[in-house]
Structure 1
Amino acid sequence: MLSTMQDVPLTVTRILTHGMTIHGKSQVTTWTGEPEPQRRSFAEVGRRATQLAHALRDELGVVGDQRVATLMWNNAEHIEAYLAIPSMGAVLHTLNLRLPAEQLIWIVKHADDKVVLVNGSLLPLLAPLLPHLTSIEHVVVVGPGDRSVLDGAVPQVHDYEELIAGRPTDYDWPELDERQAAAMCYTSGTTGDPKGVVYSHRSIYLHSMQVNMAESMGLSDKDTTLVVVPQFHVNAWGLPHATFMTGVNMLMPDRFLQPAPLADMIEREKPTHAAAVPTIWQGLLAEVTANPRDLTSMARVTIGGAACPPALMEAYDKLGVRLCHAWGMTETSPLGTMANPPAGLTEEQEWPYRITQGRFPAGVEARLVGPGGDHLPWDGESAGELEVRGPWI
């Protein structure tokens, strides 16, 4: 017997339209290094994403599931690309600007990217690669930068603002299969060439719901999250999609990732949540120790990418900021575990849970397998291959 419930595809398009309407007043704030940061409402970000989709289709000829790459920092324009590209049926491909040149060249060729959106400040990184990126037909420059380095480039060069200006702010979005590719990242944490991981609309939608659940990051439209984890690193741990789904305000640091500007951002904009690797928080701690800032708004921090030293957790506890371990991989979208302790424990009893990588949320299953294929116990001592499965794995 089948249910009577509707079978509605879970797509990025629905995240886009919901965020720009129901949560239209929420904001994406991008740090610019100027006295006043750039501020855009979700409604404006959604309209600009719609204009970008028109530009990609009508001006640059992006059709079907062609790949559109981004070589960008965390900023509002990158959020617009996150929403526009999958919603029109194309595939977002974020390029890791920390990778060596030969790996970036290999990745772009392997993905067969047709267009690349690049921040102007990153043109010196892209320009030497372009002669080798034979699949790239268009380069779209976002923000200021020395564009003379692109003189003589084979791909057509466009200015982002000029490209989207005057285009319609509504779009006849296609009804996509939720299993269709929406975004892709390449992981270099493996042997040989980087491996591509392709996320479906369905996996992104379900992952976004889990990120917002109380047992994970527990975000709502009353929060502002400082998204330090790069958008080229596993979709910024799913935060751009998750926040647009629930109206969480986003504070984007752009290229200002050093401890001093991050401390200034926190004191001025008062985020309630943040996400980044341990080295970021070690640097920030040294900065605020030497030059005190008010971090008390930032009650919760999601920390991943490496094990967090317990001493660092204790130092932030004294500042009123709680660090919470998360574990995942490019292949897990990336949320795999969160180290939120069970209810009913004292502060001392919580420590054995806090210093682990956490517990699996609903939907994620794992087992430990030995060399012979036998299942090993979860006893803290057995070592083997970790097999994980779930709707966003």
Structure 2
Amino acid sequence: MNKDNKVSSGMQEAPMNLASILEHAARFHGNQEIVSRLASGEVHRYTYREALARSKQLANALKAYGIEFGDRIATMAWNGYRHFESWYGIAGQGAICHTVNPRLFPAQIRFIINHAGDRIVFVDPAFVGLLEEIQDELPTVEMFVVLSSNAEFSATTLRAAIDYESFIGDQSDDFDWVELDEAAPSSLCYTSGTTGDPKGVLYSHRSNLLMAYASSSADAFKLSALSTVLMVVPMFHANSWGLVYSAPMSGAKLVLPGPNLDGASIYDLVNSEKVTFSAAVPTVWSMLLDYMTTNQLQVPALEEVVIGGSALPRSMLVRFKRDFGVDVLQAWGMTEVSPLGSINRPMPATLKLDGDAQLAVALKQGRPLFGLQMCIKDENGLELPFDGKTPGRLMVRGPWVVSSYYKNDSVILDSDGWFDTADIATIDAEGFMQITDRAKDIIKSGGEWISSVDLENAAMNHPEVALAAVIGVPHPKWEERPLLLVKLNPGAALLEPALKEFLIGEVAKWWIPEDIKFVADIPLTATGKINKMALRDDHVADYKVHN
């Protein structure tokens, strides 16, 4: 062995191209279905074998157009079969698939397309009008490919617009995927930009493939060819939590819901396609639970749902298991972690606990996947104990964790290579991590910390509360106090004294807010999280202390 610790192992080296996932699915699970609910309500069905052939047609079309290695190609679309093909066709032939979140403000969409320098945008018909309004401010975009057939294609002012079926129509379905260095970029996703301009995270073929391996394991999503996966989480939201890769890697049947994510639409797909596994943010599951409860429905095939994006309310976990026999797993991740970092599956010791203690563990964000390291540090950069009590800044590192932002030279890792997630968390002796707050959201009152996440979850345990948000507001004596904003369920008549009474015993008494505001709605970000920045803009000024 030389001084650089480099020595030949005698093992083969195979290039890591993400298209190999779809090749595997087509060869060994070729007849497995991909089911898509279209915007029209119709259902489209085909197989992994057919998806591979059409992805190769797309790769040939891009090559014929002149797309080269490293060129950025944007997609702005819901989960559907043409979008699925685009991911593999674009990255497999050496370009970079840049997913654009259509829920962002037009100014943010303009910024990220220009920052990425996208040459082509693949767009759902539903978002054509949005792009028509800003296309003159997108100088790098040469062509817009509308994800439709020629018969569905409507007149548009988008320059060089063409429908998807015409774009790939006369191309061969024979294509040799490009041999790539495993560190070659595959895809690009931007953060939601709630504290400034969005930041780009450039993934590699290696990082996405390793994360997909880890997330499909038995201790994570536990996917197999016997699974039917409803991919609710959008492909533009942090790689659809990796399911766009891990489902075909496992040979699972894949169900793509399109734009309709209301309770009735999700229930119809879960029931008709006999879905066994799904993943989404809590708001989606809340709509499904309410729809099933109102209509006295069951989902006999559904075994597990994963919840991420924001904290899992205790009441949601209890309702799923008690009323519908469905296990709920909480997961944690972020765009910068490709995106999955941890998932909460029970340990043997957990199952020996009594009901309340077991429930308390289930509400944590879980243990890290193999390959991802995790620790907590104090404000001086010193590692804190895994005692389940001491909170600190959650730090991560590993082969699918960001090391730098796209086109940004700022140093984002500490001297030991850890990435600061900006979450405040505890980790217990068995490795279960629990987010207690975002660093910018935690409330310091009289020198003591109050977790906005825990207080929100406590309020949402009340049966009449639909959504709760907590922000810190100035206070002349305590420096800062929590303000609880509550959106009630339709027809509910909960009053402030009754909610305060309910919170006694749910949280420490000194956490209970002096003020509770009942609001018609609580704003969400483009990724479905509570928009704390908007709430502060609307409410903090009323509490500012003037000396």
- Shared fold (TM-score greater than 0.5)? yes
- Equivalent residue for 1:88? 93
Q: Counterpart of 2:49?
A: 43
The reply to whether residue 374 of structure 1 matches residue 378 of structure 2 is no
Aligned to 1:21: 27
Residue in 2 aligned with 1:363?
371
Q: Is the 8 A contact 2:39 2:259 kept in 1?
A: no
Q: Which residue of 2 aligns with 1:254?
A: 258
1:121 equivalent to 2:129? Answer no
Q: How does 1:51-200 map to 2 (within 5 A)?
A: 51-58=57-64, 60-143=65-148, 147-148=154-155, 150-151=156-157, 153=158, 155-189=159-193, 191-200=195-204
- Structure 1 residues 129, 74: closer, same or farther in 2, change over 3 A? same
Would the alpha carbon gap of residues 98 and 83 (structure 1) be closer, same or farther in structure 2, given more than 3 Å must change? same
For residue 188 of structure 1, what is the amino acid of its counterpart?
A: S
| Alpha carbons 2:185, 2:204 under 8 Å: kept | yes
CA distance in 2, matches of 1:247, 1:184: 25
Q: Does 1:11 align with 2:17?
A: yes
User: Structure with the greater relative contact order (CA < 8 A, sep ≥ 6): 1 or 2?
Assistant: 1
Pair 1:216-2:220 in alignment: yes
Q: Distance in 2 between matches of 1:27 and 1:293?
A: 26
2:247–2:253 contact (8 Å) kept in structure 1 = yes
Amino acid at match of 1:30: S
1:368, 1:304 → 2: CA distance?
Answer: 20
Which amino acid in 2 is paired with 1:135?
T
Q: Which residue of 1 aligns with 2:285?
A: 281
Match of 1:203 in 2: 207
2:242 aligns with: 238
| Aligned equivalents of 2:42, 2:199: Cα separation in 1 | 40
Counterparts of 1:270 and 1:126 in 2: how far apart (Å)?
37
Q: Is the 8 A contact 1:123 1:147 kept in 2?
A: no
Distance in 2 (CA, whole Å) between partners of 1:132 and 1:380 is 50
Number of residue-to-residue matches in the alignment:
389
Give the CA deviation at 1:146.
6.9
Question: Which string of whole-angstrom CA distances, capped at 9 and with x for unpartnered residues, describes residues 32-88 of structure 1?
Answer: 366751001000000000000111110x32111100000100001111011111110
Residues in 1 aligned to 2:203 and 2:296: alpha-carbon distance in whole angstroms: 41
Amino acid paired to 2:206: R
Whether contact under 8 Å (2:38, 2:80) holds in the other structure is no
Aligned residue number for residue 455 of structure 2: none
Kept in 2: contact 1:367–1:387 (CA 8 A) = yes
The CA deviation at 1:26 is 1.2
Q: Which residue of 326, 331, 338 corresponds with 1:333? A: 338
SS of aligned partner of 1:336: strand
CA distance in 2, matches of 1:278, 1:173: 38
Question: Do the aligned partners of 2:98 and 2:188 also contact (CA within 8 Å) in 1?
Answer: yes
The answer to whether the 8 A contact 1:302-1:325 is kept is yes
Which amino acid is the alignment partner of residue 363 of structure 1?
G
Deviation readout 1:227-268 (Å, 9 max, x if unpaired) = 110100011000011111121111101111111111111111
- Identical aligned residues as a percent: 38
Instruction: Tell me what 1:314 maps to.
Output: 318
Q: Which residue of 1 aligns with 2:391?
A: 383
Task: Select between 376-385 and 119-128 the one with higher mean Cα deviation.
Answer: 376-385
Question: What is the SS of the residue equivalent to 1:244?
Answer: helix
Compared with structure 1, are the counterparts of its residues 265 and 191 closer, same or farther at alpha carbon in structure 2 (3 Å cutoff)? same
**TM-score w.r.t. structure 2 length?**
0.69
3-state SS in 2 of match to 1:363: coil
Q: Which amino acid aligns with 2:123?
A: V
Q: Which amino acid aligns with 2:83?
A: H
TM-fit CA distance, 1:310: 0.8
Q: Is the 8 A contact 1:113 1:136 kept in 2?
A: yes
SS of 1:366 mapped into structure 2: strand
Matches of 2:142 and 2:41, distance apart in 1? 37
How far apart are the structure 1 equivalents of 2:116 and 2:392? 32
CA distance in 2, matches of 1:223, 1:339: 19
Q: Which moved more, 1:380-389 or 1:61-70?
A: 380-389
What is the identity, as a one-letter code, of the residue corresponding to 2:192? S
Judge conservation of contact 2:60–2:172 (CA < 8 Å) in 1. Answer: yes
Unaligned runs of 5+ in 1: none
SS in 1 for 2:340: coil
> In structure 1, what is the Cα distance between the partners aligned to 2:51 and 2:373?
36
CA separation in 2, counterparts of 1:282 and 1:323? 13
For residues 153 and 295 of structure 2, what CA distance do their matches in structure 1 show?
34
Q: Distance in 1 between matches of 2:296 and 2:42?
A: 22
Gapped regions of structure 2 (runs ≥ 5): 2-7, 402-547
Distance of 1:382 and 1:197 partners within structure 2: 30
Task: Tell me how far apart the structure 2 counterparts of residues 220 and 172 of structure 1 sit (CA, whole Å).
Answer: 27
Partner residue, 2:470: none
Q: Which amino acid aligns with 2:145?
A: V
| Structure 1 match to 2:483 | none
1:370 Cα deviation from its structure 2 partner? 1.6
Q: Secondary structure at the match of 1:81?
A: helix
Structure 1 moving runs of 4+ over 6 Å: none
**Contact 1:123 / 1:146 at 8 angstroms: preserved in 2?**
no
Q: Does residue 32 of structure 1 match 2:38?
A: yes
Taking the aligned partners of 1:51 and 1:67, their CA distance within structure 2 comes to: 18
Q: Is the 8 A contact 1:12 1:86 kept in 2?
A: yes
Q: Is the 8 A contact 2:73 2:97 kept in 1?
A: yes
Tell me if the contact between 1:267 and 1:293 (Cα under 8 Å) persists in the aligned partners: no
**CA offset at residue 3 of structure 1?**
1.8
Give the Cα separation in 1 of the matches to 2:318 and 2:9. 50
